[in-house]
Structure formats: structure tokens, C-alpha cells
């Protein structure tokens, strides 16, 4: 796998952690964060929701930033958290919640919405009469979760905890980085991450669209293909393990 030279686009701290794992496998990576996580200031609504968690049969946390902000809100507004089932899309998010002492379930095979929806423990949680589920997330995203849960008879509320902004870069920063470091593949971790990649590429997108693009889910793969990406690899998860598996299964491109 040492022929891969990847562009990582996650927030800076997450890209640094992923880069370390890749380096252990002899894989070169370069980080150009395309998501700045900006917490939404705590409001009366947030306080009311957090203090009313006992109304829910399940709380789903969709990302590590959502987990970190949720814990801050719990410590601030609800230190004696009621006993209920928590769910996360991936193991890393689950670990943050478990460190707070919460009872968390997550899919061990795949870390996307589809895998989470297959969890028996989630199905059991919403099997009670008039089930109500809270999803903690950033602005937008993970609509599939709510749609499927509503189809199964659950009432779903959102609590949006942060927004994702595109950092400011000089024009042509993205294609210049790819050319200067001879990068041969792109990695995004979310739909909004891909949208920011597409936006920052500008007029260079037709050229960049020829590079292999590693994405975390079928939904993001569909977005990328609709925008013209030629080789889209669905890793079925955003973890380092999922990415490494996908890299092993696909040949290094000859550029």
C-alpha cells in the first residue's frame, strides 16, 4: 500500500490522528482540513432538551464533535444524567460517551447509518409504545436515520450542536497541494466534507475528479458520482480501519 499518497480533509486534529495511523502502514498523507467545527452557543432550547432527556427511549450521537459538545452540555445542565440508551455511529464516538459513564451501543461492522439501523439494541429501544428518539448532530446531515426511524413508528427530534464551515484558503490551494506533493487519491469523511472539496476545487474539479475518492458511505458516494467523480470507493465507514481496508482492496493508480 506504500504507493498511496492521500489528501486528508478532516478537521485538523482528526487528520493528524489518521495520518499517524497511515504512516505506521507506510502510507504518505497530506492534510488540508475542509471542515472547521464551530460549536453553536448554548441556548435555552438546548438546556430544555438536555434536561428533558428522560422523555427519550434512545439518544443517537452521530459524530465525535457532537459527543464532545453533548458531554459539555450534560456537565453544565444535567450532571445527573437519567438512565437511558445511547447510540453512536462509530467506535470512536462511542468511546467519548463511554468515558462519561454512558451506556452506549454502536455497530461493530460498519460505522454508518445503515449499520446503526441494523442494531438489535436500537430496534429493542424503539419497540416500546410511542418511542421518542433524539439525534445529536451538526447542522444538517444523517437524514436517513430519522427517515428510517419514523418508518418504524418512532418520533424523532434533532438537537444541532455545531456547524461545519469551510476554512479560508488561497485560490488554487487544493490543486496546488495535490500537484506539489504528487497526491494520487482524496479522502473525505462526510457529505459536507465532499461539498467543500468540490467547492474549493473550483475550475480544477474536472482534473481532480479523475483521482480515486474514498468516502464513508453510499450516500456520500452518490453525491460524489453525481458531481462527476470518476472512481469513488465506499469505505463503509469513516474509521482508519475502514479506510485501510479499502486501500488494500484497490490498486494504486498510475498517474
Q: Closest Cα partner for 114 from 224, 219, 254?
A: 219
* Contact between residue 4 and residue 131 where contact means Cβ atoms under 8 Å apart: no
Tell me: the pLDDT tens digits for 198-236? 999 999 999 999 999 999 988 899 999 999 999 999 998
pLDDT of residue 236: 86
CATH number, span 38-164 = 3.40.50.10090
The CATH number of 5-35+169-249, from 3.40.50.12160, 3.40.50.10090, 3.30.230.10, 3.40.50.300, is: 3.40.50.10090
With a cut of 80, say whether residue 141 has pLDDT above it. no
pLDDT tens for 193-202 read 999 999 999 9
Q: In this structure, are strands 185-187 and 5-8 parallel, antiparallel, or unpaired?
A: parallel
pLDDT for res 90: 84
Please write the tens of the pLDDT for every residue from 77-109: 998 888 899 999 888 899 999 999 999 999 987
In the chain, where are the structural domains located?
5-35+169-249, 38-164
Domains 5-35+169-249 and 38-164 alike in fold: yes
**Is pLDDT above 80 for 142?**
no
Amino acid at each position: 500500500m506504500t504507493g498511496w499518497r492521500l489528501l486528508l480533509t478532516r478537521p485538523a486534529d482528526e487528520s493528524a490522528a489518521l495520518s499517524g495511523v497511515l504512516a505506521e502502514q507506510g502510507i504518505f498523507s497530506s492534510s488540508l482540513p475542509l471542515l472547521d467545527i464551530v460549536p453553536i452557543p448554548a441556548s435555552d432550547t438546548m438546556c430544555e432538551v438536555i434536561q428533558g432527556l428522560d422523555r427519550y427511549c434512545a439518544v443517537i450521537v452521530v459524530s465525535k464533535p457532537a459527543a464532545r459538545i453533548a458531554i459539555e452540555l450534560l456537565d453544565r445542565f444535567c450532571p445527573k444524567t437519567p438512565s437511558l440508551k445511547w447510540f453512536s455511529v462509530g467506535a470512536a464516538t462511542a468511546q467519548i460517551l463511554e468515558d462519561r459513564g454512558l451506556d452506549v451501543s454502536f455497530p461493530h461492522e460498519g460505522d454508518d447509518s445503515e449499520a446503526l439501523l441494523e442494531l438489535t439494541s436500537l430496534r429493542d429501544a424503539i419497540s416500546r409504545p410511542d418511542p421518542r428518539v433524539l439525534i445529536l448532530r451538526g447542522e444538517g446531515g444523517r437524514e436517513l436515520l430519522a427517515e428510517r426511524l419514523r418508518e418504524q413508528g418512532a418520533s424523532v427530534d434533532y438537537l444541532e450542536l455545531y456547524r461545519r464551515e469551510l476554512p479560508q484558503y488561497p485560490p488554487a490551494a487544493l490543486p496546488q497541494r495535490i500537484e506539489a506533493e504528487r497526491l494520487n487519491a482524496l479522502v473525505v469523511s462526510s457529505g459536507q466534507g465532499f461539498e467543500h472539496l468540490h467547492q474549493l476545487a473550483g475550475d480544477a474539479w474536472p482534473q481532480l475528479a479523475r483521482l480515486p475518492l474514498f468516502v464513508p458511505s453510499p450516500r456520500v458516494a452518490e453525491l460524489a458520482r453525481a458531481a462527476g467523480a470518476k472512481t469513488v470507493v465506499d469505505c463503509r465507514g469513516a474509521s482508519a480501519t475502514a479506510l485501510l481496508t479499502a486501500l488494500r482492496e484497490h490498486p494504486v493508480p498510475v498517474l
